[in-house]
């Protein structure tokens, strides 16, 4: 993926609807399609003693089947454990693992027996995934929360976790779609990116949220990189794009789109604890905004 340049500009951007004021890639089509079936989600989880952990989940799908990789890091970015779950390949769609790391007892539970998917390897419903640390629940995903409470003997059943970032590979010919939740328990939105680069003199970029146009960029030949701020759920979301590869590179790689929220740590945590709010301001306020990175690949 091409890194975003530091020279993003806002000039020449046309806004429509409800908007507000790595090296070259030369992979083959088959390699691109494998890369597309990959979604990485990062969560920051806080315990009652104010210690926190970064949990990274990578959902992937290849010709060999679907899998889930789990990595747990502490506040010093030291990896505590890594775990690969391959339920479809080995028919282990339900299970749990207990891991002892120093003084920490980590328990991981999952049930993907009835999970439903769209084009993404990440399940959308009919599943649960949960992690407890020293019998304190720190992360719960999925729509089967009642089942989690039946399975886990934890002193705390209300985890305090923030969805920090999501990176996904999407594909299409002119339209690219995904879903995202920009804030906590907020609404899940459908995001559609329409991008036509076939005609250099009439190329354009159009972004829709839930079907409503929120941003339009014309003449991409001159505006192949840029940024602008839109509103989603009343919150400012900075949108960045880089479609240089599609327009100018001999070996076409992927375009990159970034959606970045700008919330304070206190709002994201939703915590009334003054000591935690103070600590967040000092140490973590720059890491708690949600970001969605989309690597868009063209279908041949």
* Chain centre to alpha carbon of residue 228: 20
Of 4-8, 49-53, 80-84, 227-231, minimum mean pLDDT range: 4-8
pLDDT score of 233: 86
Cβ neighbours of residue 43 closer than 8 Å, sequence gap 6 or more:
54, 55, 56, 57, 139, 161, 162, 163, 164
Closest CA to 159 of 109, 216, 232, 209: 109
The residue that leads in pLDDT, 69 or 274, is: 69
Nearest to 219 by CA among 13, 21, 16: 13
The token pair at 235 is 């919150």
- Please list the residues that pair with 125 across neighbouring strands: 116
Core vs surface per residue 82-99: b (16+ CB within 10 A) or e: eeebebbeeeeebeeeee
Q: What's the CA angle centered on 163, arms 217 and 161, to 5 degrees?
A: 160
| Domain map (residue ranges) of the chain | 49-155, 166-270+274-298
Q: What is the DSSP string of 166-188?
A: EEEEEEESSEEEEEEE-STT--E
| Averaged pLDDT, 190-204 | 85
Q: Tens digit of pLDDT for each residue in 165-196?
A: 999 998 888 899 998 888 766 788 999 999 98
Indicate the pairing of strand 291-298 with strand 160-172: parallel
Q: Which of 31-35, 163-167, 200-204, 212-216 has the lowest mean pLDDT?
A: 31-35
Lowest-pLDDT range, 60-74, 150-164, 248-262? 150-164
Q: How confident is the model at residue 55 (pLDDT cuts 50, 70, 90)?
A: very high
DSSP H stretches of helix in the chain: 29-36, 87-90, 145-151, 244-248, 265-269, 274-279
- Is the pLDDT at 268 greater than 70, yes or no? no
Rounded distance, CA 195 to CA 202, Å? Answer: 11
């Amino acid at each position: 993926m091409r890194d975003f340049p530091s020279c993003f500009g806002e000039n020449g951007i046309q806004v429509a609807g409800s908007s507000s004021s790595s090296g070259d890639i030369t992979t083959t089509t088959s390699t691109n399609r494998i890369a597309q079936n990959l979604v990485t989600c990062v969560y920051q989880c806080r315990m009652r003693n104010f210690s926190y952990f970064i949990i990274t989940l990578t959902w992937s799908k290849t010709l060999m089947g679907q899998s889930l990789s789990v990595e747990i890091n502490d506040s010093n970015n030291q990896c505590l454990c890594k775990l690969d779950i391959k339920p479809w390949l080995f028919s282990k769609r339900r299970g749990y693992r207990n891991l002892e790391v120093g003084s920490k007892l980590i328990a991981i539970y999952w049930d993907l027996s009835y999970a439903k998917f769209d084009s993404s390897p990440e399940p959308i419903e009919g599943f649960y995934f949960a992690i407890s640390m020293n019998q304190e629940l720190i992360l719960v995903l999925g729509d089967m929360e009642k089942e989690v409470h039946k399975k886990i003997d934890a002193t705390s059943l209300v985890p305090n976790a923030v969805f920090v970032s999501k990176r996904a590979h999407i594909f299409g010919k002119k339209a690219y779609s995904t879903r995202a939740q920009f804030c906590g328990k907020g609404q899940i939105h459908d995001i559609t990116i329409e991008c036509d680069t076939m005609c250099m003199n009439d190329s354009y970029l159009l972004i829709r949220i839930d079907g409503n146009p929120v941003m339009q960029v014309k003449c991409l030949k001159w505006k192949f990189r840029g940024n602008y701020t839109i509103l989603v759920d009343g919150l400012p979301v900075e949108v960045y794009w880089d479609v240089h590869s599609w327009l100018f590179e001999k070996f076409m790689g992927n375009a990159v789109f970034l959606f970045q929220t700008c919330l304070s740590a206190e709002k994201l945590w939703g915590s009334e604890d003054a000591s935690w709010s103070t600590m967040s301001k000092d140490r973590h306020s720059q890491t708690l905004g949600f970001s969605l990175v989309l690597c868009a690949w063209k279908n041949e």
